[in-house]
Amino acid sequence: MSEENVVKNDLVVAMDYSLTVDSKVIDSSEEREPLEFLQGHGNIIPGLEREILGMRIGESKEVIVSPAEGYGETEEDAFMEVPANQFPENIPVEVGTEIQIENEDGEPAYARIDKIENNMAELNFNHPLAGKELHFAIKIITIRDPTEEEMKHGHVHNHDHEH
Protein backbone atom coordinates (compact mmCIF):
# COMPACT_ATOMS: atom_id res chain seq x y z
CA MET A 1 0.00 0.00 0.00
CA SER A 2 1.31 3.46 -0.82
CA GLU A 3 1.93 6.04 1.89
CA GLU A 4 -0.84 8.33 0.55
CA ASN A 5 -3.38 5.93 2.04
CA VAL A 6 -2.16 6.61 5.58
CA VAL A 7 -3.21 9.52 7.82
CA LYS A 8 -0.23 11.80 8.39
CA ASN A 9 0.19 15.43 9.46
CA ASP A 10 -0.32 18.03 6.71
CA LEU A 11 -2.77 15.83 4.79
CA VAL A 12 -6.50 16.52 4.38
CA VAL A 13 -8.55 13.71 5.92
CA ALA A 14 -12.26 13.04 5.42
CA MET A 15 -13.73 10.97 8.22
CA ASP A 16 -17.15 9.64 9.13
CA TYR A 17 -17.80 9.75 12.85
CA SER A 18 -20.36 9.51 15.58
CA LEU A 19 -19.83 10.99 19.03
CA THR A 20 -21.43 9.42 22.07
CA VAL A 21 -21.42 11.16 25.46
CA ASP A 22 -23.09 9.70 28.55
CA SER A 23 -24.47 6.83 26.40
CA LYS A 24 -26.23 9.21 23.97
CA VAL A 25 -25.15 9.89 20.39
CA ILE A 26 -24.87 13.69 20.34
CA ASP A 27 -23.18 14.29 16.99
CA SER A 28 -22.67 12.30 13.81
CA SER A 29 -21.68 12.80 10.20
CA GLU A 30 -24.30 10.22 9.15
CA GLU A 31 -26.80 12.75 7.78
CA ARG A 32 -24.07 14.98 6.34
CA GLU A 33 -20.83 14.80 4.42
CA PRO A 34 -17.81 13.31 6.22
CA LEU A 35 -15.87 15.73 8.42
CA GLU A 36 -12.91 17.08 6.44
CA PHE A 37 -9.91 18.61 8.23
CA LEU A 38 -6.19 19.26 7.94
CA GLN A 39 -4.45 16.69 10.12
CA GLY A 40 -1.95 18.02 12.66
CA HIS A 41 -3.21 21.61 12.68
CA GLY A 42 -5.57 21.53 15.64
CA ASN A 43 -8.70 21.51 13.47
CA ILE A 44 -10.11 18.72 15.65
CA ILE A 45 -9.61 17.92 19.34
CA PRO A 46 -6.08 16.73 20.28
CA GLY A 47 -7.07 13.25 21.50
CA LEU A 48 -8.81 12.41 18.23
CA GLU A 49 -6.04 13.91 16.09
CA ARG A 50 -3.46 11.71 17.82
CA GLU A 51 -5.58 8.55 17.57
CA ILE A 52 -6.11 8.70 13.81
CA LEU A 53 -2.43 9.10 12.90
CA GLY A 54 -1.39 6.08 10.85
CA MET A 55 -4.95 4.93 10.09
CA ARG A 56 -5.67 3.87 6.52
CA ILE A 57 -8.50 4.68 4.09
CA GLY A 58 -11.48 2.46 4.92
CA GLU A 59 -10.20 1.70 8.41
CA SER A 60 -12.59 2.12 11.35
CA LYS A 61 -12.04 2.27 15.08
CA GLU A 62 -13.54 3.28 18.38
CA VAL A 63 -11.71 5.99 20.30
CA ILE A 64 -12.27 7.21 23.85
CA VAL A 65 -11.00 10.73 24.44
CA SER A 66 -10.46 12.00 28.00
CA PRO A 67 -11.67 15.49 28.94
CA ALA A 68 -8.06 16.73 29.05
CA GLU A 69 -7.61 15.79 25.37
CA GLY A 70 -11.13 16.81 24.39
CA TYR A 71 -12.85 19.99 25.51
CA GLY A 72 -10.98 20.32 28.80
CA GLU A 73 -11.91 19.73 32.40
CA THR A 74 -14.73 21.71 33.96
CA GLU A 75 -13.17 24.97 35.15
CA GLU A 76 -14.54 25.94 38.54
CA ASP A 77 -13.90 29.66 37.91
CA ALA A 78 -15.81 29.69 34.62
CA PHE A 79 -19.12 30.45 36.31
CA MET A 80 -20.71 33.84 36.89
CA GLU A 81 -23.81 34.95 38.78
CA VAL A 82 -25.94 37.53 36.99
CA PRO A 83 -29.16 39.11 38.29
CA ALA A 84 -32.03 37.71 36.20
CA ASN A 85 -33.42 41.21 35.62
CA GLN A 86 -30.22 42.23 33.77
CA PHE A 87 -30.96 39.97 30.79
CA PRO A 88 -32.41 41.62 27.68
CA GLU A 89 -36.13 40.93 27.25
CA ASN A 90 -35.56 38.79 24.15
CA ILE A 91 -33.44 36.25 26.06
CA PRO A 92 -35.42 33.64 28.00
CA VAL A 93 -34.00 33.40 31.51
CA GLU A 94 -34.28 29.64 31.91
CA VAL A 95 -31.93 26.72 32.48
CA GLY A 96 -30.27 25.65 29.24
CA THR A 97 -30.51 29.00 27.45
CA GLU A 98 -27.27 29.67 25.56
CA ILE A 99 -26.05 33.22 25.19
CA GLN A 100 -23.11 35.04 23.68
CA ILE A 101 -21.52 37.98 25.46
CA GLU A 102 -18.33 39.96 24.97
CA ASN A 103 -15.51 39.40 27.43
CA GLU A 104 -13.20 42.18 28.67
CA ASP A 105 -11.16 41.98 25.43
CA GLY A 106 -14.25 42.39 23.26
CA GLU A 107 -14.03 38.74 22.17
CA PRO A 108 -17.23 36.69 21.98
CA ALA A 109 -17.72 34.35 24.94
CA TYR A 110 -20.38 31.67 25.00
CA ALA A 111 -22.24 30.65 28.13
CA ARG A 112 -25.37 28.81 29.13
CA ILE A 113 -27.65 29.25 32.10
CA ASP A 114 -27.01 26.33 34.49
CA LYS A 115 -29.38 27.29 37.31
CA ILE A 116 -31.60 30.07 38.54
CA GLU A 117 -31.90 30.76 42.25
CA ASN A 118 -33.18 33.80 44.16
CA ASN A 119 -33.49 35.80 40.91
CA MET A 120 -29.82 35.10 40.11
CA ALA A 121 -28.89 33.20 36.95
CA GLU A 122 -25.69 31.17 37.03
CA LEU A 123 -23.82 31.37 33.72
CA ASN A 124 -21.46 28.53 32.83
CA PHE A 125 -18.69 29.50 30.38
CA ASN A 126 -17.28 25.96 30.14
CA HIS A 127 -17.66 24.19 26.79
CA PRO A 128 -20.84 22.05 26.98
CA LEU A 129 -18.61 18.96 26.65
CA ALA A 130 -16.00 20.06 29.22
CA GLY A 131 -15.35 17.34 31.77
CA LYS A 132 -16.97 14.70 29.56
CA GLU A 133 -15.42 11.49 28.25
CA LEU A 134 -15.97 11.42 24.48
CA HIS A 135 -16.65 8.11 22.70
CA PHE A 136 -16.03 8.32 18.97
CA ALA A 137 -16.71 5.73 16.30
CA ILE A 138 -14.67 6.82 13.28
CA LYS A 139 -13.92 5.67 9.76
CA ILE A 140 -11.36 7.20 7.41
CA ILE A 141 -13.03 7.92 4.05
CA THR A 142 -10.41 9.76 1.98
CA ILE A 143 -6.96 11.27 2.36
CA ARG A 144 -5.56 13.92 0.01
CA ASP A 145 -2.85 16.54 -0.22
CA PRO A 146 -3.99 20.02 0.83
CA THR A 147 -4.06 22.91 -1.63
CA GLU A 148 -1.41 25.56 -1.18
CA GLU A 149 -4.04 27.92 0.24
CA GLU A 150 -5.30 25.32 2.75
CA MET A 151 -1.74 24.71 3.93
CA LYS A 152 -1.12 28.46 4.31
CA HIS A 153 -4.37 28.99 6.26
CA GLY A 154 -3.99 25.79 8.32
CA HIS A 155 -7.49 24.46 7.61
CA VAL A 156 -9.62 22.95 4.86
CA HIS A 157 -11.53 25.20 2.50
CA ASN A 158 -14.91 23.74 1.64
CA HIS A 159 -16.12 25.27 -1.55
CA ASP A 160 -19.77 25.24 -0.49
CA HIS A 161 -19.25 27.09 2.81
CA GLU A 162 -16.53 28.85 4.76
CA HIS A 163 -16.14 28.46 8.50
Q: What is the pLDDT of residue 2?
A: 47
Decide: helix, strand or coil at residue 150: helix
- The CA distance from 1 to 134, in Å, is 31
**Is the model more confident about 159 or about 162?**
159
CA proximity to 130, closest of 65, 85, 38: 65
What is residue 163's predicted lDDT score, i.e. its pLDDT? 38
Q: What's the whole-number average pLDDT of the chain?
A: 91
CA 28 – CA 35 distance, rounded (Å): 9
Task: Report all structural domains of the chain as residue ranges with CATH numbers, in order of start.
Answer: 3-71+131-153 (3.10.50.40), 79-124 (2.40.10)
74-114 pLDDT, tens digit each: 999 999 999 999 998 899 999 999 999 887 888 888 999 99
